[in-house]
Structure 1
Amino acid sequence: MNWTLEVVVVPVSDLDRAKAFYADQLGFVVDHDMVINHEVRIVQLTPPGSGCSIVIGKGAVPHMPPGSLKGLQLVVPDLHKARAELLDRGVEVSDIQVLGKNPRPVPDPLDNVGFVFFEDPDGNAWAVQQISTRP
């Protein structure tokens, strides 16, 4: 049986500001923007090429304070290109960091161990890792 992770809920304080950050600055695709009632609005966004989406919303996650989600991770084949794209879109992103040692020989020394980090406007923390080849 396959178990696929399809949605991660990200707690935010300002839905429109968060939607603009994820859609306009990160380039996530807006899949849905649904108003359920005057207290609940759900926005689902998907990173290009991803099988997993995020959901942000008003009234969506009452027990998670905005900015409390840490350790979300995106994977890209070219970290230099991804970082440049984030900078071009106005995202404050860290310098490239190498964390650990490659578990096997790879053509690019950043594969598996190259990362950059950023936060959304509420402080939810994201990592971007380079993996261009898989065993």
Structure 2
Amino acid sequence: MRPGSLKGVQLVVRDIRAARAELVGRGVEATEVRVLRSSGARPAKDDEDLNNVGFVFFSDPDGNGWAVQEINVRR
């Protein structure tokens, strides 16, 4: 596989805000936390429940694309 050809690798975490802070603290250029719904994407509000809809995106040094999703409760 060529470097940078992998897109959409997804990680699941319990706390998307903490995961983003960890990434940024390690020098990763990650997006702000976003809410993704079928109607589109928007920035997350500070007090918003992000279970299943909170995402952060970043690329690794090879150019591969990553998505991090918050799932803290399974129904």
Asked if these proteins are the same fold (TM beyond 0.5), I'd say: yes
Aligned partners of 2:2, 2:66: CA distance in 1, in Å?
A: 16
How far off its partner does 1:121 sit? 0.7
How far off its partner does 1:109 sit? 2.0
* Equivalent residue pairs, number: 66
SS at match of 2:67: strand
Task: Determine if the alignment matches structure 1 residue 96 to structure 2 residue 33.
Answer: yes
Identical aligned residues as a percent: 64
Aligned partners of 2:4, 2:21: CA distance in 1, in Å?
A: 24
Residue in 2 that maps onto 1:54: none
Residue in 1 that maps onto 2:67: 127
SS at match of 1:99: strand
Segments of 5+ residues of structure 2 without an aligned counterpart are 39-47
Name the aligned partner's letter for residue 50 of structure 2.
L
Segments ≥4 residues shifted beyond 4 Å: none
Residue in 2 that maps onto 1:116: 56
Computing the radius of gyration from Cα coordinates, the structure with the larger value is: 1
1:6-44 residue CA offsets vs partner (Å, 9 max, x unmatched)? xxxxxxxxxxxxxxxxxxxxxxxxxxxxxxxxxxxxxxx
Between 1 and 2, higher relative CO (CA 8 Å, sep ≥ 6) is seen in 2
How far off its partner does 1:65 sit? 1.5
Aligned partners of 1:88, 1:122: CA distance in 2, in Å?
A: 19
**TM-score (normalised: structure 2):** 0.82
